[in-house]
A = this chain, B = another copy of it.
């Protein structure tokens, strides 16, 4: 399946993402999930970014938290709400908000 997963937290209390399988996996970082796109802990990027997936981060939610696009990891594409709509309809078929 082509699955887009929305991650909205910095710390997750569920391990669902670790075992979800999808032929095509997209991870959309929104809300406090955007910290994964930029924040380094002890010099290391979020382990989330090591997953074999396409990564997107919502620009509005970055800006809300004082993070500039220049701080975003190169593996993550900065998108806006309109882009998220296109991802939903054109790139993926099922959506999961974990």
Q: CB within 8 Å of B: which residues of A? A: 9-11, 13
Chain B residues with CB below 8 A from A9, complex form: 13
A-B contact pairs, 4 of them (CB 8 A): A9-B13, A10-B13, A11-B13, A13-B13
Closest chain-B Cβ to A36's Cβ sits at a distance in Å of 14
Which residues of B lie under 8 Å from residue A10 when comparing CB positions? Answer: 13
* A31 to B: closest C-beta gap in Å: 13
What are the residues of chain B within 8 A of A11 when measuring CB–CB?
13
Q: Give A14's nearest chain B residue, CB to CB.
A: B11
A67 → B minimal CB distance (Å): 20
In the complex, the chain B residue whose C-beta lies closest to that of A13 is: B11
How far in angstroms is the closest Cβ of chain B from A74? 27
For the complex, what is the distance from the CA of A9 to the CA of B12, rounded to whole Å? 13
In whole angstroms, how far apart are the Cα atoms of A11 and B16 in the complex?
14
Residue of B nearest to A32 (CB): B13
What are the 4 closest A-B residue pairs judged by CB atoms, nearest first? A11-B13, A13-B13, A9-B13, A10-B13
